C-alpha cells in the first residue's frame, strides 16, 4: 500500500455530509457531449474491476446509447481484495471479479461485444512494482483514443495513485483529453477539503434512469458486498460506501 493508505480508515465521510458541501454544490455542470464529444474514442484505465463502475458508471450508461467506442484497460484482476481469505482466495477472485465486471457493464447497457478489453494482470496492491510494464502497456493501448479516464493520482490508494500518474503521463504524449476520477477520496476527504482540486473539477448529472442502472451495476460486484466469515472482514463496499457512489452526479477532474 502507499504512504497515504492510512487515510482509508473507519467508515469515512457519509453521503449525507457530502450533500452539504458548498464546494461540491458550486461545481460547474457539464453535459455528455461536453465530457465526451460525438465521434470520440474513449479509454478507461481501471486499477481494479469495479473502479470504472464506481466512479463513471453513469457516464458509461449514457454512452452505451450513443455507441461510443470504449476500451477498458483492467490493470489488475482485483485478486487482492480479500487477503488470507479461504472463502475468497486470490486464484478464485481473479475469475470471479472479471465476471462481476462484465455483469456490471451489462447492467449499464454495455455488452462484451461492444467493449474492447485489455487485461494487464498486474498484481493487485503492487502495481507500483511494475510501473515500467504498466507504462509500456498503456503506450500501446492508448494511442487512437481521444479521451482517457482513470483514477485520480492523489486518491490515496497505492494502485489508484500510480495508475493515475502513469496514465496521465502517457495521455499527455498521445494528446488525449484526460479526466481523473476520485474513488477513495470520497471516503477520506471532507466536504470543503482543500486537498481536493476543486478548481479543475466538474459535475456530471445523472437522470433517474441512468442512476438506476448504475445502482444495479454496483450490486453486481457481489464479492465486494459480503462480509468474509473466514477472516472476520467487513464488506469492502458497505452500504455507507455504496451510498457515496449512488448520488445523482459524478465528479471528474479535468
Handedness of CA 227, 59, 133, 171 (dihedral sign): negative
pLDDT, tens only, 11-39? 999 999 999 999 999 999 999 999 999 99
Q: At residue 1, does pLDDT exceed 60?
A: no
Q: What SS3 class is residue 98?
A: helix
pLDDT, tens only, 137-196? 999 999 999 999 999 999 999 999 999 999 999 999 999 999 999 999 999 999 999 999
pLDDT band at 112 (very low <50, low <70, confident <90, very high): confident
SS3 sequence of 52-64: HHHHHHHHHHHHH
Cβ-proximal residues to 107 (8 Å cutoff; 6+ apart), any chain: 213, 216, 217, 220
Amino acid at each position: 500500500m502507499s504512504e497515504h493508505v492510512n487515510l482509508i480508515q473507519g467508515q469515512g465521510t457519509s453521503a449525507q455530509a457530502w450533500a452539504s458541501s458548498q464546494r461540491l454544490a458550486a461545481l460547474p455542470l457539464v453535459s455528455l457531449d461536453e465530457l465526451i464529444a460525438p465521434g470520440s474514442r474513449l479509454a478507461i484505465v481501471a486499477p481494479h474491476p469495479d473502479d470504472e463502475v464506481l466512479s463513471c458508471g453513469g457516464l458509461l450508461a449514457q454512452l452505451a446509447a450513443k455507441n461510443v467506442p470504449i476500451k477498458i484497460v483492467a490493470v489488475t484482476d482485483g485478486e487482492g481484495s480479500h487477503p488470507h481469505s479461504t472463502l475468497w482466495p486470490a486464484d478464485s477472485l481473479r475469475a470471479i471479479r472479471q465476471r462481476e465486471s462484465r455483469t456490471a457493464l451489462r447492467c449499464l447497457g454495455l455488452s462484451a461485444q461492444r467493449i474492447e478489453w485489455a487485461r494487464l494482470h498486474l498484481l493487485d496492491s503492487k502495481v507500483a512494482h511494475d510501473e515500467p510494464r504498466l507504462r509500456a502497456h498503456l503506450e500501446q493501448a492508448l494511442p487512437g483514443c481521444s479521451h482517457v479516464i482513470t483514477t485520480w493520482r492523489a486518491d490515496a490508494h497505492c494502485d489508484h495513485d500510480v495508475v493515475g500518474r502513469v496514465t496521465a503521463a502517457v495521455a499527455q504524449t498521445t494528446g488525449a483529453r484526460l479526466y481523473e476520477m476520485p474513488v477513495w477520496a470520497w471516503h477520506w476527504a471532507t466536504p470543503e477539503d482543500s486537498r481536493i482540486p476543486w478548481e479543475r473539477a466538474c459535475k456530471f448529472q445523472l437522470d433517474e434512469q441512468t442512476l438506476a442502472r448504475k445502482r444495479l451495476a454496483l450490486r453486481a460486484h457481489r464479492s465486494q458486498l459480503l462480509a468474509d466469515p473466514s477472516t472476520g472482514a467487513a464488506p469492502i463496499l458497505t452500504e455507507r460506501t455504496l451510498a457515496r457512489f449512488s448520488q445523482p452526479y459524478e465528479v471528474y477532474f479535468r
